[in-house]
Amino acid sequence: MRGKFFLFIIILGIIFGGIGYYYYKNNMYSKDVLKLEILGPDTAELGEDIEYVVKYKNNGGFVLEEPKLIFEYPQYSVVENDKPQRQEIPLEDIYPGAENALSFKGKLLGKENESKVAKAWLSYRPKNLKARYESATTLTAIIKLVPLTFEFDLPSKVESGKEFHFRLNYFSNANYPLSNLRVFVDYPSDFEFISSTPKSLEKTEWGLGLLNRTDGGRIEIVGKVSGEPAEEKIFKAKLGIWQDGEYILLKEAVRGLEIMQPSIFISWQINGSPRYITNVGDYLHYEIFFKNTGEKPLENLFLVAKLDDSLLDFSTIQPGNGKFQESSKTLIWDHTMNQDLRFLDSMDEGKVDFWIKVKDQLSSNNPVIKTKISLSQVNEEIETKVNAKLALSQKGYFSQGPFVNSGSLPPTVGQSTSYTIFWQIQNFYNDVKNVKVKATLPSQVRLSGELFPKDAKFAFDQVSREIVWDVGDLVGESAGSTTGKEIFFQVVLTPDPNQRGQAAQLVSEAKIIGQDSWTEAPLETKAPEITTSLPDDVAVSGKDIVQ
């Protein structure tokens, strides 16, 4: 009996074990039955529209409940409709055999050959199970092309301690408009920064405006570098975008130059100044000095000055003892014209000079006259900035203007007569900041309070009797533009006996002042005084003498 009982227990265990195995086999779950993949390009251009398609399929026999998809764009992507870089999307239950796909669109930012990884996770809970499972996948794309030009325009050799110019040129052929651009420059040791156009932030950083396709520009830097002859100096620069507080590198540029042993030192003055700032219509006296800094004499030298043909009036050129070539706009001196070019001993210095006039009207804004000098393989470029042209007109009226004037004409001692004063200003070529127009009123003249436009910033100081129109900043207009600003104000004259028998002053000589944003020079232009003769109001001609 005992043996039969144990046999029964064994048979019962086998039966229940089989049942358990069958139940386990039919309820066993593996996360491998969920297929998750990202479909998309394996290469892309900077700013190119790309689409990631996340596909998933339930290959198992369980319903996958409470599924949630997480998609993460590659770092520094530009996401469609400004959506977040990481998106969490609740899904409907995924039944056995069901499949679906979601689309994610954006653009990639980064440098050439940089890997950009998109990531996806899908978490879920198989039906009748408490545990949550997660499947993950990735897709890597390579930025094959960054259609930006970013390069140094740098001389191959410079003299130690000698001022020189170099440029960083940039150009976009990307279909995507680039904003919040920043350029950083890493200078070699012993480099001295002097200036740049446009102005820098802390001498090493520049902000660029919006860069659309086919837009470009340049950063011009002036500086000095010191070193031993044949020493190499490396300049580095990077172009990128600020996005969410992080700098995204797009392009890099590296260029070297060599310190050379100078044999000739070239310097210059224009109208007696090495950093002269000129005005339209000015005559320029160029003096170019050349010094033999080597140990041996120099003979039969040849000096060339290539002149700027867009800003100078060549009908006024006075070449001195040089020869002017009209076709190339070039001045030439050789050893037959200048004895210092025939023989220049060690440490001796020579000079050539010429005169030329700046055009009375220019066609470009922020003008700079560039004169290139070449002598015995030594090249220099003289840059002369041109000031803005501030124009001021001051006129007086009795029968014209926005106000109704009254009183006796001609003016009479002890009686009041009102007049309208008109100021008009124009600004050409460069932006000008902090612009003001000033004049003074004689003691016999007061303001009536009439002003047009009424919101003009117009002030009067009773002690100094100075009137001031605070214009603010003016944009530089092109030559021929009629755009400007104007103001009308009314004054009242009450002549005293000392003014009888003469035309009375209404407003003193006026002047307009401001600071040129391009040249940083102070500017001033004047306009003649206004008297009761009112040459601009023919209706009251001959009624100017105080009675």
Q: State the average pLDDT over residues 458-471.
A: 97
- pLDDT at position 25, please? 41
Band (378; pLDDT cuts 50, 70, 90): confident
Query: Is pLDDT of 398 > 50?
Result: yes
What's domain 31-145's architecture?
Sandwich (2.60)
pLDDT value of residue 3: 54
Residue 22 in this model has a pLDDT that exceeds 80: no
Q: Which residues, listed in sequence order, are joined to residue 469 by a DSSP beta bridge?
A: 437, 458
Tell me: pLDDT of 225 over 50: yes
3-state secondary structure 29-49: CCHHHEEEEEECCCEEECCCE
pLDDT of res. 9: 59
pLDDT beyond 70 at 138: yes
Q: Do domains 31-145 and 389-540 have the same CATH topology?
A: yes
Report, as an integer, the average pLDDT of 253-263: 90
Where residue 24 falls among pLDDT bands split at 50, 70, 90? Answer: very low
Is residue 84 over pLDDT 50? yes
Q: CB under 8 Å to 335, separation ≥6 — which residues?
A: 299, 300, 301, 302, 341, 342
DSSP letter, residue 403? S
For position 401, what pLDDT does the model report? 95
Q: In terms of Cα–Cα distance, which of 504, 508, 489, 487 is closest to 416? A: 504
Kindly report, residue by residue over 302-324, the tens digit of the pLDDT. Answer: 999 999 989 999 999 999 999 99
Record: fold of 389-540? Immunoglobulin-like (2.60.40)
CATH of domain 264-385: 2.60.40.740
Indicate the range of 154-168, 406-420, 447-461 predicted with least confidence.
154-168
Average pLDDT over residues 133-156: 95
Give mean pLDDT, residues 277-294: 96
Give the Cα separation of 525 and 506 in Å (integer).
20
pLDDT at residue 258 above 70? yes
Reported as a pLDDT band with limits 50, 70 and 90, residue 478 is confident
Amino acid at 279: N
Does the pLDDT value for residue 439 go beyond 70? yes
> What is the fold of 148-260?
Immunoglobulin-like (2.60.40)
Measured between alpha carbons, how far is 290 from 365 in angstroms, rounded to an integer? Answer: 32
- Contact assessment for residue 523 and residue 471, using Cβ atoms and an 8 Å cutoff: no
pTM to 2 decimal places: 0.62
Dist CA 490 CA 469 (whole Å): 14
Band (pLDDT 50/70/90 cuts) for residue 2 is: low
Domain ranges of the chain: 31-145, 148-260, 264-385, 389-540
Query: What percent of the chain lies above the pLDDT cut of 90?
Result: 83
In tens, the pLDDT along 200-213 reads 988 999 999 899 99
Banded model confidence at residue 377, pLDDT cuts 50, 70, 90: confident
pLDDT score at 11: 58
27 or 226: whose pLDDT is higher?
Answer: 226
Instruction: Mark 326-342 as b/e (b = at least 16 C-beta within 10 Å).
Output: eeebbbbbebebbebbe
* DSSP per-residue string spanning 337-390: T-HHHHEE-TT-EEEEEEEEEE-SS-SSSS-EEEEEEEETTEEEEEEEEB--EE
Which two structure tokens, joined as six digits, stand for 344? Answer: 């220049």
Give the E-state strand segments of 400-529 in sequence order: 417-428, 432-440, 445-452, 458-461, 466-474, 485-493, 505-507, 510-516, 522-527
Which pLDDT score, from 0 to 100, does residue 174 have?
92
In this prediction, residue 19 has a pLDDT band, given cuts at 50, 70 and 90, of very low
Percentage of the chain beyond pLDDT 70 is 94
Q: Are 292 and 263 in contact (CB under 8 A)?
A: yes
Tokens of 356: 């030329």
